[in-house]
Structure 1
Amino acid sequence: MEFANKEYFFLLLLVIPYILWCMLYRKKNEPTVSVADSFAYLNVHKSWRTKLVELPTALRIIVFVLIVFTLARPQSHNSWGTKETEGIDIMLSMDVSTSMLAQDLKPNRIEAAKNVAAEFISDRENDNIGLTIFAGEAFTQCPMTTDHQSLLNMLMDVRTDLAERGLIQDGTAIGMGLANAVARLKDSKTKSKVVILLTDGSNNMGDISPLTAAQIAKSYGIRVYTIAIGSKSLAPYPVNVAGSVRYVNLRADIDTETLRKIAQMADGNFYRATNTSELKKIYRDIDKLEKTRLNTKNFSKRSENYMPFALAAVIILILDILLRLTVLRRLP
């Protein structure tokens, strides 16, 4: 526990003159009765009221001390701390082209991919994880971080209408998506660096071919796991026709051979997910990756802890007043 206003503790020095005043000055001014001989009073039994006559004075001193502690503002410890944990650096590279709206996975491919990825992120609390998204172009949605709540918020904001809104070109730039993720990992100092690339299409856009991106990943010691998502049969796909949504059957055009070569070149594995349960199993398999040491920084918030002291002061003050007005009342 820390105190924001430590200078208030100097007020505790006022307790000393108050005690001296109680012992010397006040006793001299109390009413007395002169008697010829006090021998008869030596063995007189003292009542409990007599024994507790100084209790109100002690209570007032305690109240004063508690008020000083309240003014000093006790607070919980607040600092940056560095700890060494077990973790790896991971970049998720996710396809957000419009074909990810196909509903062979429930509720659709993009939502199923986001939900399973969210579970994966939540289970790897010690890892640095980031997110790259791509369609006809690629960009980093979230750089690598151990703040997984922020990452999850950005993941859940991922949508497939970026091309419709003119933010990026539609299409499937697998090479660009992989290259963007590799660029985020290449300077990492950790032993294990991994890209998990998920797509439902074939590379048809971008300035970098998927295999060239895989060679770059290999040169930086980055392992790439590729996931082809989508059923092998026709899948319902929503189409906007005259302001209403209609569904057409769409066959997944996935270049599994290229995805398999990417994984082989970058020392990873290739997976095919035709339903949500298979996708979950794939992420569980990847979850068994080796771990390495990782330094993380944690921040603890400062919180005010003066209320217990203030509350105790109020209660003791009320008790002091009640005792002085009732059982420990002194006359005159």
Structure 2
Amino acid sequence: MIYEWFQNITFIWPENFIFMATIPLLVWQYLQKDKTGRGVIMASSVNYKVPPTFKTRFRHLPFILRLLVIALLITALARPQHQQQMTRSEGEGIDIMLAMDVSGSMLTQDVKPRRFTVAKEVAVDFVKKRPTDRIGLVIFSGEAFTKVPLTFDKSTLLQQLEDLKVMDGGYIEPGTLIGEGLATAVNRIRKGNSKTKVIILLTDGKEDAPPTRIIDPQMALEIAKANGVRVYCIGLGVSEFTEEQMASGVRNFLDEDLLKKIAGETGGRYYHAVDKNSLQSIYSQIDKLEKTKVEIVHYKQVEEMFLPLVLAALALLFLEIVLRYTVFKGFP
């Protein structure tokens, strides 16, 4: 921390450091004077030795203090400043709601390693690239609910994405409710203040509704259009399967006609992803289409540092004068 603080110190007039050359001259002059001006006491015995005192041990202290005073004043003349570079992003972000299919078919391994794993990883990368936007997460299977409402808190959203699991039975109804997933996402995003509202809906199947369904895809589409929400639909899964995949029960139930209709009538686009690279490319295209206009403002915070140096020099000078005329006072 101290090292980083010193890294931000700059000198406005560094040419004044040339006066530091006087310090070696003062040291040389002092040593010469000390040799010629030292007192001598004649003793009759060569074994006689005067015990050292505080005054003799630290007799150079006033001169050292004087050098420190000179060094501090020269440094102050160089006008040191502590500068802190800062940036601030300005601009209006957009509201984005991710609507992700978490049905059991998302565990299919035609998209390596699994459809669901790839969908999560690419979504995480997309969120990290949108620092100024509010983003939320809706998941759907045989039911649909909000996992993360629209938020600027990217750390929470990323954690929820990474912890996301396929809802294959258990406490949630099996199935694929594309309509209710879309309607839930629209209901969340329509309350935002942003002028631009976008939903990215990802699924690998078609509408597979349990008897408890309330909203069908057509009704969800009308709700999205009424609220001015643009929907980008992504179908995930390979189009053609190998004999081995067919034998293991892998099927493609993707309803591309429905996804194209939703995207087309809301002003979005439909994409088909067959592997991780193609899904990354799709998210990259959406990222470019829905780019946020952000103005980056750079500014400096400057703090003058010469005053503390001057005060420290005056304190040391006062201490040097006191010591020179009290403890280290010499005889005339």
Q: TM-score, normalised by structure 2?
A: 0.61
- 1:189 deviates by 1.5
* Aligned equivalent of 1:140: 146
Q: Is 2:179–2:215's contact at 8 Å kept on the other side of the alignment? A: yes
* Aligned equivalent of 1:254: 254
1:171 aligns with 2:148: no
Unaligned runs of 5+ in 1: 1-44, 60-81, 238-246, 295-319
What pairs with 1:157-196 in structure 2 (closer than 5 Å)?
157-160=163-166, 162-164=167-169, 166-196=170-200
- Partner Cα separation in structure 1 for residue 122 and residue 290 of structure 2: 20
- Partner Cα separation in structure 2 for residue 257 and residue 269 of structure 1: 12
Q: Render the CA deviation track for 1:110-160: whole Å, top value 9, x for unaligned.
A: 000001111111111111111101000011111111221211110011111
- Partner Cα separation in structure 2 for residue 285 and residue 140 of structure 1: 25
Q: Render the CA deviation track for 1:91-116: whole Å, top value 9, x for unaligned.
A: 00000000000001111000000011
1:101 aligns with 2:111: no
Q: Render the CA deviation track for 1:169-223: whole Å, top value 9, x for unaligned.
A: 1110000100111011112121110000000111122321112111111111110
- Partner Cα separation in structure 2 for residue 122 and residue 269 of structure 1: 22
- 1:291 deviates by 4.4
| Structure with higher helix content | 2
Q: Render the CA deviation track for 1:232-273: whole Å, top value 9, x for unaligned.
A: 123778xxxxxxxxx823111011101111111111101111
- Partner Cα separation in structure 1 for residue 61 and residue 228 of structure 2: 81
Q: Render the CA deviation track for 1:3-48: whole Å, top value 9, x for unaligned.
A: xxxxxxxxxxxxxxxxxxxxxxxxxxxxxxxxxxxxxxxxxx9999
CA gap of 1:280–1:54, structure 2 versus 1, over 3 A, is closer
- 1:330 deviates by 5.8
- 1:53 deviates by 8.5
1:287 aligns with 2:287: yes
Over aligned residues, Cα RMSD in angstroms?
3.7
Q: How many residues align?
A: 230
Q: Describe the SS at the equivalent of 2:261.
A: helix
Q: Percent identity?
A: 44
Unaligned runs of 5+ in 2: 1-35, 39-57, 70-87, 295-318
- 1:289 deviates by 2.6
Q: Which residue of 52, 55, 61 corresponds with 2:62?
A: 52
What pairs with 1:1-332 in structure 2 (closer than 5 Å)?
49=59, 52=62, 84-160=90-166, 162-164=167-169, 166-205=170-209, 206-234=213-241, 248-291=248-291
- Partner Cα separation in structure 2 for residue 170 and residue 50 of structure 1: 88
- 1:163 deviates by 3.5
- 1:293 deviates by 6.7
- Partner Cα separation in structure 2 for residue 248 and residue 292 of structure 1: 44
Runs of 4+ in 1 over 4 A off after TM superposition: 45-51, 53-56, 291-294, 328-331
CA gap of 1:50–1:179, structure 2 versus 1, over 3 A, is same
- Partner Cα separation in structure 2 for residue 275 and residue 50 of structure 1: 78
CA gap of 1:291–1:188, structure 2 versus 1, over 3 A, is farther
Q: Is 2:59–2:328's contact at 8 Å kept on the other side of the alignment? A: no
Q: Is 2:235–2:254's contact at 8 Å kept on the other side of the alignment? A: yes
Q: Is 1:90–1:129's contact at 8 Å kept on the other side of the alignment? A: yes
Q: Is 1:133–1:177's contact at 8 Å kept on the other side of the alignment? A: yes
